[in-house]
Structure 1
Amino acid sequence: MAELTSKVWLDEHLNDLPNWQQDAFRQFGSMIADADNKYPCIPGRHGFLTNNLRFGFANDPRDEQAISEVSQLLKEYGGCARDTGKYASLVIFFKTPEEMLNDFRVADYEQLFWSVLSRVSAKDETPWPEAISTDPSHHSWEFCFDGQPYFAFCSTPSHEARKSRMSPHFLIAFQPRFVFEEINDSTPFGRNMKKLIRQKLVEYDGIPAHPSLKWYGQEDNHEWKQYFLRDDESVPSKCPFTYMKNKFKSLGIKFHK
């Protein structure tokens, strides 16, 4: 059974967890709270240091058990996210077997990431929010679960050029949409925050920021393109996530090619 935890809890009980979970959390903490303050996501760093973040651990992401665990964690998190602080996020670490560490490349993790989101969505019993399109090509689209919209962020062991998207264990973070209520293009604070983050991102990665990084809601923006960034500037020709197909599949309805 997957359990939602906090930094405070993990700091006290980490040694009681399996070795891979200990390693995942310690390396994440070392990355996001580095002494030189280089990590580019300022809200994420602040959220970690102030105990706003929540954490969960899931099995091998290829297994159905992991999908059930992610669904369970998201459902629990949706009910408490606003109580955790304005820099809230749910970070889920996945057990990443040696065969994946040795054989998987960025493209393999990309396919796996979208597979996880699609399979998790198929378990969602709550209607999609009316204000958010189910079509990823629409600028209002955002991944939703249990009625809550999230920005999904993936990092993998195979990323090299974009260090900001590299983690020793396969990782997906879900940022609630309310986190961006002040961090957007309509406020001086948001515009300044974007400028600082973009500057730190370029310094951290050592390469230009990906062209897909834009504001939510812009008519030329597609959120899904930001969820999984490749090491280069390429993007898939279309979003691999399709909401309605997942829903029909969960009902046993087959689609013809």
Structure 2
Amino acid sequence: MKSLSTLLGSSARRDLESGPDDGVVRALTEMVTHPEYPCLGARSVFRRDTASVVVLDEMEHADDLATLADALRTFAARTKDATNFVSLIAAFRSPVVTSEAQFEELLWGVLQTLHDGDDQPWTEGVSDDPAQPHFAFSHAGTAFFIVGLHPAASRIARRAPLPMLVFNLHAQFERLREEGGFDRMRTAIRTRDTRLQGGVNPMAEDHGDSSEARQYSGRAVDDDWKPPFEAREDDA
């Protein structure tokens, strides 16, 4: 079997840029179910077939982001009572991402556009200020924890052949914490990530200790970092 790094190489990206949507889904499934992939939550989603994947063209195109917004609304309504881990994954065929800073800007551009077009108030129980420890992104009345993946990621676990945004229900992590399984899963993931990368992700923090916004893009950021995002005044 190919190593995870080899699996995520440039040849995989070239194949997916022009391939059909089901090719993207197959490549994503192969990546997440690879024995070296550290995120147990993601592996659970694909093992249970509870991942919703939408393949789009552009991260900056209004029509593609409108499609994503519709998919998120449908996903939020369908999974509001889910007991298993579920995720919505948006994969973009373009642009070609060459740096972590570029991807970070694109990611927050997508989230700002989604928020600007959202007619629901910010989810109760989480902050709309990305500088606050209890921040979580909100769309369609649902709180999400975002995981960004792209070809130029320095962390192997965040590296993918195409730019992708994974929308995880924030409530599923809170439920896991209440049931006592969160610490165990977190420790296992960090152990697997260390085995893959040689060290723990320096941005890995627990919700409430620092803003999860710092983790969304996967880029290591300074203490004074602020994302290019602003919530509407009626949500503040």
Q: Larger C-alpha radius of gyration, 1 or 2? A: 1
The answer to whether the superposition gives a TM-score over 0.5 is yes
CA deviation string 1:46-71 (max 9, x = no partner): 11011121111222112111211111
For the 8 Å contact 2:54–2:91, the answer to whether it is kept is yes
C-alpha spacing 1:59/1:246, structure 2 compared with 1 (3 Å): farther
CA deviation string 1:88-131 (max 9, x = no partner): 1111111225xx25xx3221111111101111110100111232
For the 8 Å contact 2:130–2:211, the answer to whether it is kept is yes
1:108 & 1:173 partners in 2: Cα distance? 18
Partner SS state of residue 79, structure 1:
helix
Matched, 1:234 2:226: no
Structure 1 runs of 4+ with >6 Å offset: none
Q: Number of residue pairs matched? A: 217
2:191 & 2:142 partners in 1: Cα distance? 30
Matched, 1:198 2:187: no
Shift of 1:132: 2.1
Counterpart of 1:109 (choices 93, 103, 107) is: 103
Ranked by relative contact order (alpha carbons within 8 Å, sequence separation 6 or more), the top structure is 2
Structure 2 counterpart of 1:138 = 132
Matched, 1:215 2:206: yes
If the length of structure 2 is used for normalisation, what is the TM-score?
A: 0.84
For the 8 Å contact 2:103–2:217, the answer to whether it is kept is no
Structure 2 counterpart of 1:31 = 31
Structure 2 counterpart of 1:173 = 166
For the 8 Å contact 1:121–1:246, the answer to whether it is kept is no
Query: Which residues of structure 2 form unaligned runs of 5+?
Result: 1-17
2:105 & 2:83 partners in 1: Cα distance? 32
For the 8 Å contact 1:152–1:227, the answer to whether it is kept is yes
For the 8 Å contact 1:61–1:67, the answer to whether it is kept is yes
Structure 1 counterpart of 2:12 = none
C-alpha spacing 1:212/1:105, structure 2 compared with 1 (3 Å): closer
**Identity level (%):** 22
For the 8 Å contact 1:24–1:168, the answer to whether it is kept is no
Query: Which residues of structure 1 form unaligned runs of 5+?
Result: 1-17, 248-257
Partner SS state of residue 95, structure 1:
strand
